[in-house]
A and B are shown apart, each in its own frame.
Chain A
Amino acid sequence: MMQIKENAKQYDAVIVGSGAGGGMSAKVLADAGLKVAVMEAGPFFDPKDPETMTQLKWPWESPRRGRSTPSRHFGDFDMAYGGWSLEGEPYTQKGDSDFMWFRSRMLGGRTNHWGRISLRFGPIDFKHRSHDGLGDDWPIGYEDVKPYYDKLDKLIGVFGSNEGLYNDPDGFFLPPPKPRLHELYYIKGARKLGIPVIPSRLSILTKRINKERGVCFYCNQCSRSCNAYADFSSGSCLIFPAQNSGQVDLYNNAMVRKVVMKDDGKAKGVSYINKEDGKEYVIEGKVVVLAASACSSARILLNSKAPGHSNGIGNSSGVVGKYLHDSTGSSRAGFIPALMDRKVYNEDGVGGMHVYSPWWGDNKKLDFGRGYHIEVWGGMGMPGYGFGMNMDGFNKMMGFPQGGYGDKLREDVKRYYGAVIGFGGRGECIAREDNYCELDPDVVDEFGIPVLRFNYSFSDHERLQAKHMQQTFEELIDAMGGKVLGDTPTKEQNYGLNKGGEIIHEVGTTRMGNDPKKSVCNKYQQLHDVKNVFITDAGPFVSQADTNCTWTIMALAWRASEYIVDQLNKQNL
């Protein structure tokens, strides 16, 4: 860890956060010759460091066999240091709100474990109000972002296929892997119902794109972050290459508290708490780029109270924290008798689905506003904690003898291995002003920084969409000759709708717009109020599409970063 003095050197840009948005900003700004500081609240992490690696480890190497822990919510092998709760860093709720906020404290942030589902937003997604009267249009359109998506596809690598779908646009794809057996069953079942299925689009290298990164070797463990750098993680694919320019200083374990202002109404830099000595430091930059995640960046703005900015900087509109929304989610699993007693072979494949269904419905004919896509899982994966439990659930369904001991159990486990398929619907929640995060006036974290308080609820658009997901999943399982597992979630259970934040696609807290009274930043993600502060995480999103947000975070971060370089060159900042 580098020692930072109070009067640190002056940077061209100070970037807060090292995930998808921060990594992309660091890469673009450093490549343009700017001197960049990257502030990360967690430790350094390199996927190929044997000290921290979990990829290719065996279940027994975890004493709990991969079960989740308070420090790894997705299980002992998952590469996210954190989860929906962090020790010493609480958040609170208003009323009966129950928003779940996932944070990963490490270099690369949540990109080290994410699903790599890399979908573009389509033309309709940027102008949805014009199509259905709900939410708001973005101040930019698909044509503004397309060049950056194109560059992104080539720089980072994403497999998929050009299908000519209007709102799920084509790109520059690496070739997708062949479907697995359960995915062939899915394709067959979905086609019976008229639901489209296409190769999935994941940022995993099925083919070489440069000398620095390896090619996928099909271990199915992208959630553990790839030591060959064959999946997209921000550290291995953006931060490390950016560091090669010699232009980037990385500050780990640096918890940013606020943006520090100068008398001229511009930002001077940021102040942060060095977790190693507990002291606060100021780091200065000509430009501050917040990419700490939608909610963290909103929190930093709200905590940056300064003369003339009594509600936090960038917040003369009062919009900071508002319009928070996460993807909708609802899931279901089914048991496919035709997949019993399988021949066992290696079908690990890539770390995720090989096929998926983009939204196919026409919302004008439905009782909810926006669509969802279907993610598919199944197959003969590596056993972990929970494997082999409750074989009687299947025995009951099949009318086979229950319970017992000895050889029968060995037969049961082999009979049902790979016979379950699961679906996750991931859809669009309509952005609303009254879904927000704000500072809790009474609660601080262990660093003394006021924490966020959430206020989040659903409308019937989301609930009825989840109902549609469940109906569709049941029809799909039926069309595959399978049996649905569990009971149909009821209206009282919101039709199985995940809590806000559970899908970990939170966006919208610092929305972009042309009107400074109704938005936090402009279409280049520059604060209306403070022109040398930019936001390159998902905060500036006006709306979440029925896809996932990461590819758009990066395309927009690239676009905003090019604008920063341009404006610095013109001495406008």
Chain B
Amino acid sequence: MDRRDTLKTLLITGVAGGAVASTVLSSCKTDEPMIAIPESKLTIGRTPSERERDQALLDNDFLTAEELTVVATLCDIILPATSSAGSATEADVHNFIDFIIQDIPNLQTPVRGGIAWINNEASTRFNSSFVDATEEQKMEIIDDIAYPDKAAPEMSSGVSFFNRMRDLTMTGYYTTRMGLDDLGYVGNRANIWDGVPEDVLKKHNMSYDPEWLAKCVDQEKREDLASWDEEGNLLS
């Protein structure tokens, strides 16, 4: 069983009972994997040496299956599913985190150490690993480290770790299709920019200066071949 198969098993046994993973499970049919495990994603133009480097990182796992399960659990605490958007693990954020800490080696010890910290904390408090702790127990630890301005000073290591996991989860999530849809981002496609929508201008108490507007492109004529008079005045 490779790490990803192990993860599926661990998620079922370790997380499935918890509320955070319920959406993952309910959204999956039995014959499909619990978590989408995509094939290589190198669909952007790469030079040969870049392709080689990235493929090597993608093929390698840094975190152990147990560590990745902790990361996945935290990801879905940080961004659980909503009525309209999937959870962080549904967006494969845990595997992004495993990639990015290989790409940024100085994240490796803080993340691995943070996972150990949270396991130690669970062990001290509940005689359990973090993943095996009950939902209430997990959230007791999380609530102690999730609020940087309110956390007790002795929790500072956990706060740093959770801040880091929050940042990585957020950036990992909002750079996926699911994240862009949640954000409402509608760009990255051919379109014709013709100014700020009228209702937005009104809301911001802004308007286009007529003198400025007169200089701007008439999008009706964008395909007309440009020509000028000798003074540089556009004729077309």
- Chain A interfacial positions (CB closer than 8 Å to B): 43, 49-54, 56-67, 69, 71-72, 76-77, 81, 150, 154, 157, 159, 161-162, 170-181, 184-185, 187-188, 199, 206-210, 215, 217-221, 338, 342-350, 380-392, 401-407, 409-410, 413-414, 417
CA distance A221 to B189 in the complex (A): 10
Cβ contact of B47, chosen from A43, A170, A407, cutoff 8 A: A43
Interface pick from B8-16, B63-71, B75-83, B109-117: B75-83
> Which residues on the B side are within 8 Å of A178 (C-beta)?
193-196, 208, 213, 216-217
Q: Are A343 and B203 in contact (CB under 8 A)?
A: yes
Q: Are B179 and A208 in contact (CB under 8 A)?
A: no
> Which residues on the A side are within 8 Å of B212 (C-beta)?
179, 187, 199
- Chain B interfacial positions (CB closer than 8 Å to A): 41-47, 49-50, 53-54, 57-58, 77-80, 82, 85, 96, 99-100, 103-104, 142, 146-150, 162-163, 166-167, 170-177, 179-180, 182-197, 199-201, 203-204, 206, 208-209, 212-213, 215-218, 221-226, 228, 232-234, 236
Which residue of chain A has its CB nearest to the CB of B151?
A403
Nearest CB of A to B6, in Å: 21
Q: Are B42 and A63 in contact (CB under 8 A)?
A: yes
> Which residues on the A side are within 8 Å of B216 (C-beta)?
175-178, 199
Nearest CB of B to A378, in Å: 13
Pairs across A and B, CB under 8 Å, 26 listed: A51-B45, A54-B45, A60-B177, A63-B42, A67-B100, A184-B201, A187-B209, A207-B226, A207-B236, A209-B225, A217-B190, A218-B191, A219-B189, A219-B190, A338-B204, A345-B186, A345-B200, A346-B187, A348-B187, A348-B193, A382-B180, A384-B175, A385-B171, A403-B148, A404-B147, A410-B182
Q: Given the known inter-chain contacts A71-B49, A71-B50, please indicate yes or no for A387 contacting B191, CB distance below 8 A.
A: no
Nearest CB of A to B60, in Å: 12
Q: Are A388 and B163 in contact (CB under 8 A)?
A: no
Nearest CB of B to A552, in Å: 18
Q: Are A405 and B190 in contact (CB under 8 A)?
A: no
**What is the interface of chain B mostly: helix, strand, loop, or mixed?**
loop
Nearest CB of A to B72, in Å: 14
Q: Given the known inter-chain contacts A175-B234, A388-B174, A403-B146, please indicate yes or no for A417 contacting B183, CB distance below 8 A.
A: yes
Nearest CB of A to B181, in Å: 11
Q: Are A403 and B163 in contact (CB under 8 A)?
A: yes
Q: Are A170 and B149 in contact (CB under 8 A)?
A: no
Q: Are A208 and B224 in contact (CB under 8 A)?
A: yes
Nearest CB of B to A1, in Å: 14
Q: Given the known inter-chain contacts A170-B232, A343-B203, A385-B171, please indicate yes or no for A219 contacting B217, CB distance below 8 A.
A: no
Q: Are B234 and A174 in contact (CB under 8 A)?
A: yes
Q: Are B82 and A410 in contact (CB under 8 A)?
A: yes
Nearest CB of B to A77, in Å: 7
Q: Are A174 and B177 in contact (CB under 8 A)?
A: no
Q: Are A344 and B185 in contact (CB under 8 A)?
A: yes
> Which residues on the B side are within 8 Å of A338 (C-beta)?
204
Cβ contact of A54, chosen from B44, B103, B149, B195, cutoff 8 A: B44
6 more A-B residue pairs beyond the given contacts A60-B176, A63-B42, A178-B195, with a C-beta to C-beta distance below 8 A: A187-B212, A387-B171, A388-B173, A388-B174, A388-B179, A405-B78
Which residue of chain B has its CB nearest to the CB of A71?
B50
> Which residues on the A side are within 8 Å of B78 (C-beta)?
405-406, 409
**What is the interface of chain A mostly: helix, strand, loop, or mixed?**
loop
> Which residues on the B side are within 8 Å of A49 (C-beta)?
45
> Which residues on the B side are within 8 Å of A403 (C-beta)?
146-150, 162-163, 166
Which residue of chain B has its CB nearest to the CB of A389?
B167
* Most A C-beta atoms less than 10 A away, residue of B57, B104, B191: B191
Q: Given the known inter-chain contacts A50-B45, A63-B42, please indicate yes or no for A409 contacting B166, CB distance below 8 A.
A: yes
Cβ contact of A181, chosen from B53, B183, B206, cutoff 8 A: B206
* Most A C-beta atoms less than 10 A away, residue of B47, B50, B100, B187: B187
Q: Given the known inter-chain contacts A177-B217, A389-B171, please indicate yes or no for A344 contacting B148, CB distance below 8 A.
A: no
Cβ contact of B232, chosen from A60, A172, A177, cutoff 8 A: A172
CA distance A221 to B171 in the complex (A): 20
Nearest CB of B to A41, in Å: 14
* Most A C-beta atoms less than 10 A away, residue of B46, B54, B99, B217: B217
Nearest CB of B to A558, in Å: 18
Nearest CB of A to B138, in Å: 11
CA distance A405 to B173 in the complex (A): 13
> Which residues on the A side are within 8 Å of B185 (C-beta)?
344, 380, 382-383
Q: Are B100 and A64 in contact (CB under 8 A)?
A: yes
CA distance A161 to B217 in the complex (A): 11
Nearest CB of A to B83, in Å: 10
> Which residues on the B side are within 8 Å of A67 (C-beta)?
100, 103-104
> Which residues on the B side are within 8 Å of A347 (C-beta)?
187, 193, 196
> Which residues on the A side are within 8 Å of B46 (C-beta)?
52
CA distance A213 to B27 in the complex (A): 47
Nearest CB of A to B118, in Å: 14
CA distance A196 to B46 in the complex (A): 42
CA distance A170 to B146 in the complex (A): 56
Q: Are A344 and B57 in contact (CB under 8 A)?
A: no
Q: Are A405 and B146 in contact (CB under 8 A)?
A: yes
CA distance A217 to B187 in the complex (A): 11
> Which residues on the B side are within 8 Å of A177 (C-beta)?
193, 216-217
Q: Are B224 and A207 in contact (CB under 8 A)?
A: yes
> Which residues on the A side are within 8 Å of B225 (C-beta)?
208-210
CA distance A179 to B190 in the complex (A): 18
Which residue of chain B has its CB nearest to the CB of A56?
B188
Which residue of chain A has its CB nearest to the CB of B49?
A71
Which residue of chain B has its CB nearest to the CB of A343?
B200
Q: Are A215 and B222 in contact (CB under 8 A)?
A: yes
